[in-house]
Structure 1
Amino acid sequence: MNKVLHHLHRAVECDPRFADAYVSLAREYKKEKDPSYYTKFIKKAISIDKKQIRELEKQQVDYAGQNLFGLVRKVFFLELEQKRHLSNLLIELGNFHFENGKIKRAQRIFEDAEMVDPLNADVYYYFGLVYLKRQKYKNAHRSFIHCVERDIHHAGANLELGKHFQRTKDYHLAEVHFFCALETYPYEPVIHILICKLCIKTNDLDSAKHHYESALSMDASSKNRKLENILNI
């Protein structure tokens, strides 16, 4: 056992209700390529979150019965924060199964995450990825739209929507979504390359060259001889 794992195990021994300690422990086991311990500890953190949410719900009822509505409001917002934390953990676990090819299990967990926090944009992004994997493109498109409705700057969903609109030759909307993603990650070379390719399709070669050179300045491995030939570089 490495030192990090040792100290994290000590942390959960000291405070068994500290969900984030279990999360850190799970992620460390993931780095160590031990999936069984990863899922064990991430599920433990999820269980703690669920219990804390039930306790917060009970507190609200108790405070309301005492006409302590200021405290009801305070606990309500604490509950919302806890639900977002739980939803994010469920998404992380679902993505773990998704990456390991367990698509049905991943989708069920994403559905649980949506029930906990339907305003969490990431839920709909991962729904979109599941639908893409299943080649249900209309459902995927709808999910990515739901995602950006909740978070207009969600880079992943904007990139997927940009690719979709580029395929359907709606280049203006493709540009809008690619640039939304670029606002979020201005130094991501992959986004600059996507915009470069879009600009080539719209015959805006000056802009294409600018974005290609931007990508290259950020990451030399972005070099693409085919693009350079088109742009006469």
Structure 2
Amino acid sequence: MKNIVLLLMIPFFMVSCEEKDELDIANKHYNDGEYQKAIQFYNKHLEMKPADEIAIYNRGRAYEELGQYEKAVNNFLKVIEIDPRNIGAYLSYGKHFYRQKDYENAAFQFEKAYKLNTNSTKSATLLARAYHKAGKVEEAMEYYNIAINNDKDNAEAYLYRGALKVHLNQSGACNDMQMAKNIGYEGAEELYNKYCN
């Protein structure tokens, strides 16, 4: 009887290992920049586990890397449908709007992500950037401040808060740009030299 039970369980373990292997292989291809191959393995994995939100999200990111934005968005929306608390999916969906220069909708998605985790520096920074681009300077300043309070090494937030202060003729702009420069943010030295030297 024991042997029969073991024999019946072998296919289950084989399928389970195969799913894991396909997901691992897909992730490896993704990390290696082989996005088309990654998508093939995410698809295989999702045939067995169609609601695996991690695989769906990663497949969406792979499509995004290939510039297939509509397919990427469909994956992000599917993740949100499965798990309405998935911060990464809201951020990626927001970036889609940001890429299209639709800063209002980008901010709307970034705000959803931020509300799910108010300690998320990334959400606060992206929300600030979207507000900044949309011309909502008070909101942008508020979220740059939040992003910096959440992470004192957030060079991006320092740089763009500094740029916003320059635009508003507020003091402290050069201090912010200096911080971004000290942390090593790309472009910070150029802006610092332009406005502060």
> Which residue in the other structure is 2:94 paired with?
128
Name stretches of at least 5 consecutive residues in structure 2 with no aligned partner.
1-12
Cα distance in structure 1, aligned partners of 2:63 and 2:155 = 28
Cα distance in structure 2, aligned partners of 1:213 and 1:99 = 32
Cα distance in structure 2, aligned partners of 1:28 and 1:197 = 38
RMSD: 2.8
> Which residue in the other structure is 1:142 paired with?
108
> Which residue in the other structure is 2:26 paired with?
26
SS of the residue 2:148 aligns to: helix
Name stretches of at least 5 consecutive residues in structure 1 with no aligned partner.
1-13, 51-82
- 1:163 Cα shift? 2.4
- 1:197 Cα shift? 1.0
> Which residue in the other structure is 1:209 paired with?
174
Cα deviation, 1:166-206, whole Å, max 9, x if unaligned, reads: 3454433212211333344432322221121122233333x
TM-score (norm 2): 0.75
TM-score (norm 1): 0.65
User: Are 2:122 and 2:147, in contact at CA under 8 Å, matched by a contact in 1?
Assistant: yes
Cα distance in structure 1, aligned partners of 2:181 and 2:101 = 33
> Which residue in the other structure is 2:6 paired with?
none
Cα distance in structure 2, aligned partners of 1:229 and 1:148 = 33
> Which residue in the other structure is 1:231 paired with?
196
Q: Which amino acid in 2 is paired with 1:217? A: N
Q: Which amino acid in 2 is paired with 1:146? A: K
How many residues align structurally?
Answer: 184
User: Are 2:137 and 2:164, in contact at CA under 8 Å, matched by a contact in 1?
Assistant: yes
Q: After TM superposition, list the pairs within 5 Å mapping 1:161-200 onto structure 2.
A: 161-200=127-166
